[in-house]
Structure 1
Amino acid sequence: MSAPGPYPVPAADAPVVVFDFDHTLYDGDSGSHLFAWLIKRSWLRLAAALLATPLLGPLVALLPTRRRGISGYVWIATFGLRRRRDLDELIDRYVVANRERVHQRLLPLALEVLTAHRAAGDRVVVATGAPPELARAALSFVAHQDVPVIGTVVGPSCGAVIARRHCHHDEKMRMLRERGYGQVAVAYSDSTADLPLLEAAARPVVVNPKADKVALFRQRLPAGTPILNWGCRDRGGDPV
């Protein structure tokens, strides 16, 4: 899989390489897996989620309302928590309890590419719509826990811990720039929601896209942009 390092310390002017997490480094939607686990902790949470799905499901399906829909499920999953740290502790418990499953979902080919960039001295950063602690905990299994992670900012609200700032679409680019990752040399992502990131990158690489989105990527991104499949069986892209 990936070598454990050590890796050279990137120079300040080293190329910036951005990886999405879900369906890019991880086979699936890590946030959905986490919050499903949290909801299933009690039958009351599960019942509330089922009752709310006719409302929240369509919101999640549409890009303009996705944040609201996801926040609804997160509220159900985290009701009773008071601090972001409480959620981080539950994330760590989830990753430990599901260690084998989480580890198996990390894509070996993706980790090889990430390792190669780190070994080359690039400034590698993971930018994800999931809580950053989740990506960090998962990457700790393969000795990449020190990779900077930018993710959705959560905080207490209305008796739960919910998304305050969703690392998604244009907001993901704003959050990257705020952290000093303005000029992106290479970007890897599966999602059309990351088109602002892919379009900003000098070299975009689409990995594991939904098959029905491949044409859109070819239309929006420069000719010759690689569209690859790194091991997600239910996704499109050219096999590697």
Structure 2
Amino acid sequence: MNAGPYPTPRDDAPLVVFDFDHTLYDGDSGSHLFAWLIRRNPLRVLAALLATPVLGPMVACLPTRRWGISGYVWIGSFGLHAAREFDRMIDRYVATHREQIAARLLPAALEVFAGHRAQGDRVVVATGAPPELARAILAFVAHEDVPVIGTAVGPRLGAVVATRHCHHREKMRMLRERGYGDIEMAYSDSSADLPLLQSARRPVVVNPKAGRVEMFRQVLPPGTPILNWGCRDRGGDPL
């Protein structure tokens, strides 16, 4: 899957923002990474199991999601003392799981992604995953030069934790801080990305949970596409 060369976007070219998980990638890339980090050692697995009654509900609840995710990241990364060490572990994970990860990239999504680049749009990925993870995966399909905004991590108590979760309204703040404010199109699966979708002139919902489809129809403009790009366990109109 070689994406090929693309024109350099003009400064006034339309801005197109893609979420990553369940949008370009079939699944939650961060969860797959953190599970690998934890499984490296039986003591980490035990710690994660003991912590799940507390951390699990925190991850499921929007206001506390960052803290729940940080807990699992801390368990998986204990012994690392800097973000660059964490990035090296990400690169190691991607290098040793190339086939599994590549199989999760959605061909229909990549075709749309490449189409925007080919027509000269400014394409940005904004994800709740660590940005190094999304960049390393996009390198599989020659899109490593696309700007990625993601969850920031930093050292704490002998490990690394999420210091700024690129999620919900915080995702919009992080985009604006990088100069991405006037969004032409946005693609996402998640109700947590409603601020992003509602900020776009032309939102597109892809691979939503089936139970969320009606909600998207109610809160987004009439005629907003709600598509399925190949996630078999998700809703949306088939291609």
- Residue in 1 that maps onto 2:27: 28
1:62 shift after superposition: 1.1
Equivalent residue pairs, number: 239
**What is the aligned partner in structure 2 of residue 57 from structure 1?**
56
Q: Which residue does the alignment assign to 1:161?
A: 160
Q: Deviations over 1:94-141 (max 9, x none)?
A: 001100000000000000000000000000000000000000000100
Structure 2 counterpart SS, 1:167: coil
Whole-angstrom CA distance in 2 between matches of 1:169 and 1:230: 22
Q: Distance in 2 between matches of 1:221 and 1:227?
A: 10
Q: Which amino acid aligns with 1:205?
A: V
Aligned to 2:122: 123
Q: Deviations over 1:135-190 (max 9, x none)?
A: 00001000101110000011111111111100000000000011111000000000
Q: Which residue of 1 aligns with 2:69?
A: 70
Instruction: Read off the aligned partner of 2:18 and give its amino acid letter.
Output: F
> What is the TM-score with the length of structure 1 in the denominator?
0.98
Q: CA RMSD in A?
A: 0.7
Partner Cα distance (2:63, 2:219) in 1: 19
Alignment of 1:64-143 (within 5 A): 64-143=63-142
What SS does the corresponding residue of 1:213 show, helix, strand or coil? Answer: helix
Q: Look up the match of 2:144.
A: 145
1:60-86 deviation per Cα after TM superposition (whole angstroms, max 9, x unaligned): 111111111111101101111001000
Distance 1:4 1:206 in 2: 23
Aligned equivalent of 1:7: 6
Displacement of 1:6 = 1.1
> Could you say what secondary structure the match of 2:95 adopts?
helix
Which residue identity is paired with 2:3?
A: P
Distance 2:228 2:145 in 1: 26
Partner AA of 1:224 in structure 2: G
Shift of 1:5: 2.1
> Partner letter of residue 103 of structure 2?
Q
Matched letter for residue 209 of structure 2 = K
The residue type paired with residue 42 of structure 1 is N
Unaligned runs of 5+ in 2: none
Q: Which amino acid aligns with 2:80?
A: L
> Secondary structure, in 3 states, of the residue corresponding to 1:8?
coil
- Corresponding letter in the other structure for 2:110: L
Bigger drift between 59-68 and 120-129 goes to 59-68
Amino acid at match of 1:90: M
Distance 2:121 2:176 in 1: 17
Give the aligned residue type for 1:232. Answer: C
Q: Distance in 2 between matches of 1:153 and 1:54?
A: 25
2:203 counterpart residue number: 204
Give 1:80's aligned amino acid.
G
Cα offsets for 1:205-237 (capped at 9, x unmatched): 000000001111111100000000000000000
Cα separation, 1, equivalents of 2:98 and 2:76: 20
